[in-house]
Structure 1
Amino acid sequence: MAEPRLATPHLILFDWHGTLVDTHDAMFSAMEEMLPQLEDLGLVEELLPESECKTADDAKLVRYIRIFRRLHPQILAERRVSRTDIFNAIFGDNTDAKQVAHEAYNACYRRHFGEVKPFQDGLAEYLGAIRAAGIQLGVATNRNREFLDHELEIVDGGRWQSLFNVTICAGDVTAYKPDPEVLLNAAHAAGLEAGPNVWYVGDSTVDMVTGKNAPVTAVFFNGGQWEPSYIERRFAGDPDHRPDAIAASFEELTDLIDAALPEGSGAQSALADNRPAPYPGPKPPEPRIEPDWHPSVVNLARPRTLLFDWHATLVDTLDAMYHAVDDMLPELKGMGLMDNVIEPEEARSPEDARLVEYVRDHAQLHPKVRADRKISRTDIFEVLFGEDAEAKARAHEVFTHHYRKHFGTAKAFEPQVRNLLVALNRLPLRLGVITNRDREFFEEELRRVDGDDWSGFFELTICGDDVSQRKPHPDQLLLAAERLGESSDGGIWYVGDSTTDVIAAARAGQTAVFFNGAQWDLRWLNTIFPGNEKYPYKPDVVVNDFSEFWALVLACME
């Protein structure tokens, strides 16, 4: 790849994770343990407003973490984004919030670190060749000293310990990257001043910002094998921090170093003499498998009426919902309802079986369910009680009692939901809401979505306590069709985020639009919608966000 000529390196500093080593398992385990703590840490309100995010990707990440308190599934699947980049995306320039987040992360990482491997084959040989050319090497990382020293001691059998002249960690400086202190101190420890003859090689946007802040020569190590369009997008709004060069492997990095050394010099000869035969670079991640019920391939009836679920479709009320479920489950035994919980072997899937077993044993949700925040209260009751309508009705009553202590203002699930409803009201469509929420809560939330009254958007609303049987029974959807004076058929679309919503729509003969706000992948969608004899119901279409839904509506109306 053609690259500009860089300044001759006297010192090359490397980021650690994602550049020299792969510690993804421990890193992502620690992140998934830390993010559910955001509320207790007081960091939810510190999340960057989506309107202030640098890119659309960052805005989606902030939204997902705000709602679900975990990483977006695509980030988990691809495993290409660093912890530091995540914190900078979601907290922006809020150094106090990032400091709290880093400290909480370190506490979690302490329970997971220890497994570390070279990021690609041949690293010891490449680093040895660079050293032979008379170039000092160092590590400059946000990792704590206790973690780096241990990982450096064990990686590649300990062969790397003699290769580095200097290592500077987060605990050695007063601020985390992108503050340049870590690079300035590393250069000083090597007897140099920070400048173009010091290179910083890192895999993240934050590394490049740090390098430019120093300022040193910033080389983006594309170990994640990002597409050129992604890299361009990351730096499009920040040209001052663009990398000076990009290398997708240590073979390419060694080419950059060779080109920067004086032609015919002893350093260039030493590099050539010690350079190993080319090793293969890092492989790109396996692509995430998207749902196959995509709007582009389905054939749906033209919509006359759009009915929406409320929670986790139009609005986010997850905090209140999960607090109420946490309060309710310990009371099941005293009410005699634990005897009504199905046996694990009767569950639809192994995941449901584990939820059932955990609730039976501990009278609370499994920690993974609480961390994921992706399953609705109604789906929880469906998993626990199966077809026992009386047990579910009693559970809903207890939930309602506790929800009264927690509910309040709802937040739009996506920033553009209100604009979507405005636009839909301009079309020849009728809009309504079908929710298992009791009316006392729903009407209050409807009047207070992000401080705004949404009641004027909907021609009708049907709540859980308006009928004798809540979803997944079709009663609410059938009542909606009756009140609208319409046939209950495919011309009525019901848009919801749960298996319960899909079942109710299918039983009512209406079009089931599954709103995949939780970003389930195809494997999981096939798990929750197996389409077998016992669980035959599947959505007619899956949309991942409301921009897809808007395009789908327009296409079907044409």
Structure 2
Amino acid sequence: MLPAPQAILFDLDGTLLDTAPDMAAALNQLRAEHGLAPMPFAEIRPNVSNGARGLLGIGLGIGPDHDTYDQLRDRFLALYAADLAVHTCLFPGLEALVDSLEQRAMPWGVVTNKPGGLTHRLLEALKLEPAVVVCGDELERAKPHPDPLLFAAGKLRLPPSTIWYIGDHERDIIAGNAADMPTIAGRWGYLDGERPIEAWGATLVIDHPEEIAGLLPGSDLHAANPDAVDAK
């Protein structure tokens, strides 16, 4: 059972924002520069939450130990940064949720492993103003370590146990659980297929982002299913 939240934190790629189309475009641009045919979007999408490392792994077959990895990563990030908000948008239902949270005066934020420069540019382009943003290069340790989530809770001046963390990757749930936050795993995200989402250990697994609003105390869906959230 989820305790009623005082704030909600989201992972970025694959949870709050559908960034896959723009990241896939950058990867295929990089492949084209190396004389390779475009990869199907369906093959790229599940790896987007793994960032540049994961995308270079499937797109060019290289990892961080490769001689040209740093150069190719920088080129990929440059291509992505040039067009990072062409097709990127909030997942269905999340614009209304963000509006609802702001009307409730309930703070919401983003905790992501995405680099800060890209994260802040993307949020600005989409005119999103979270109460707190913690990026992958902000602290010494990123997710799956709980440090970024604990740092966000400190910025919000709230106990971690009163904050929901929502993510689409097992590292999100590992980090949230370690931070003593109730965790929600989103099946709509970029699931990489390594382990079933039910095995991640999330407090709750949901299929669609629209379901989040129904979990909040005071909503019509919560009234119909009060056992989903402990309003105490």
Same fold, TM exceeding 0.5? yes
Q: Deviations over 1:448-487 (max 9, x none)?
A: 22xxx112xx211111111122222222111111222222
- The code of the aligned residue for 2:91 comes to F
- Distance in 2, matches of 1:512 and 1:395, equals 34
Alignment of 1:14-33 (within 5 A): none
Q: Which residue of 2 aligns with 1:221?
A: none
CA contact (8 A) 1:488 1:510 kept: yes
Match among 475, 480, 486 for residue 158 of structure 2: 486
Q: Which residue of 1 aligns with 2:77?
A: 403
Alignment of 1:85-484 (within 5 A): 299-325=1-27, 370-371=42-43, 373-378=45-50, 381=53, 391=64, 399=73, 401-406=75-80, 407-409=83-85, 410-414=88-92, 416-449=93-126, 453-455=127-129, 458-484=130-156
Greater Rg by CA: 1
Structure 1 residues 374 and 405: alpha-carbon distance in aligned structure 2, compared to 1, 3 A threshold? same
Structure 1 residues 547 and 469: alpha-carbon distance in aligned structure 2, compared to 1, 3 A threshold? same
CA contact (8 A) 1:325 1:377 kept: no
Structure 1 residues 487 and 445: alpha-carbon distance in aligned structure 2, compared to 1, 3 A threshold? same
Instruction: Compute the displacement of 1:378 (Å).
Output: 2.2
Instruction: Compute the displacement of 1:518 (Å).
Output: 4.4
Q: Which residue of 1 aligns with 2:225?
A: none
Q: Deviations over 1:145-175 (max 9, x none)?
A: xxxxxxxxxxxxxxxxxxxxxxxxxxxxxxx
- Distance in 2, matches of 1:380 and 1:370, equals 17
Match among 527, 538, 542 for residue 205 of structure 2: 542
CA contact (8 A) 1:434 1:477 kept: yes
- Distance in 1, matches of 2:28 and 2:140, equals 25
Q: Which residue of 2 aligns with 1:506?
A: 177
Structure with greater contact order relative to length (CA < 8 Å, sep ≥ 6): 2
- Distance in 2, matches of 1:505 and 1:527, equals 17
Residue 495 of structure 1 aligns to a residue in which SS?
strand
Structure 1 residues 422 and 304: alpha-carbon distance in aligned structure 2, compared to 1, 3 A threshold? same
- Distance in 2, matches of 1:408 and 1:517, equals 21
Structure 1 residues 379 and 301: alpha-carbon distance in aligned structure 2, compared to 1, 3 A threshold? farther
In the alignment, structure 2 segments of 5+ residues that lack a partner are 58-63, 223-228
- Distance in 2, matches of 1:474 and 1:328, equals 33
Residue 185 of structure 2 aligns to a residue in which SS?
strand
CA contact (8 A) 2:46 2:190 kept: no
Residue 472 of structure 1 aligns to a residue in which SS?
coil
Instruction: Compute the displacement of 1:540 (Å).
Output: 1.2
- The code of the aligned residue for 1:481 comes to A
Tell me the C-alpha RMSD between the 2 structures.
3.6
Residue 494 of structure 1 aligns to a residue in which SS?
strand
Q: Deviations over 1:38-90 (max 9, x none)?
A: xxxxxxxxxxxxxxxxxxxxxxxxxxxxxxxxxxxxxxxxxxxxxxxxxxxxx
- The code of the aligned residue for 1:408 comes to L
Instruction: Compute the displacement of 1:427 (Å).
Output: 2.0
- The code of the aligned residue for 1:513 comes to I
CA contact (8 A) 2:91 2:209 kept: no
Q: Which residue of 2 aligns with 1:222?
A: none
- Distance in 1, matches of 2:180 and 2:138, equals 20
Instruction: Compute the displacement of 1:446 (Å).
Output: 0.9
- Distance in 2, matches of 1:411 and 1:482, equals 28
Instruction: Compute the displacement of 1:546 (Å).
Output: 2.3
- The code of the aligned residue for 1:549 comes to I
Q: Deviations over 1:248-270 (max 9, x none)?
A: xxxxxxxxxxxxxxxxxxxxxxx
CA contact (8 A) 1:369 1:375 kept: no
Match among 180, 185, 196 for residue 528 of structure 1: 196
CA contact (8 A) 1:328 1:399 kept: no
Instruction: Compute the displacement of 1:428 (Å).
Output: 4.8
Instruction: Compute the displacement of 1:552 (Å).
Output: 1.2
Q: Deviations over 1:346-382 (max 9, x none)?
A: xxxxxxxxxxxxxxxxxx9xx6885361233427858
Structure 1 residues 530 and 310: alpha-carbon distance in aligned structure 2, compared to 1, 3 A threshold? closer
Q: Structure 1 length as normaliser, TM-score?
A: 0.32
CA contact (8 A) 1:379 1:499 kept: no
Identity of aligned residues (%): 22
Residue 436 of structure 1 aligns to a residue in which SS?
coil
- Distance in 2, matches of 1:379 and 1:440, equals 14
In the alignment, structure 1 segments of 5+ residues that lack a partner are 1-298, 330-363, 385-390, 532-536
- Distance in 1, matches of 2:141 and 2:147, equals 6
Structure 1 residues 480 and 553: alpha-carbon distance in aligned structure 2, compared to 1, 3 A threshold? same
Structure 1 residues 467 and 326: alpha-carbon distance in aligned structure 2, compared to 1, 3 A threshold? farther
CA contact (8 A) 1:308 1:432 kept: yes
Residue 47 of structure 2 aligns to a residue in which SS?
coil
Number of aligned positions between the proteins: 204
CA contact (8 A) 2:173 2:202 kept: yes
CA contact (8 A) 2:15 2:186 kept: yes
- The code of the aligned residue for 1:508 comes to A
- Distance in 1, matches of 2:132 and 2:146, equals 16
Instruction: Compute the displacement of 1:488 (Å).
Output: 2.5
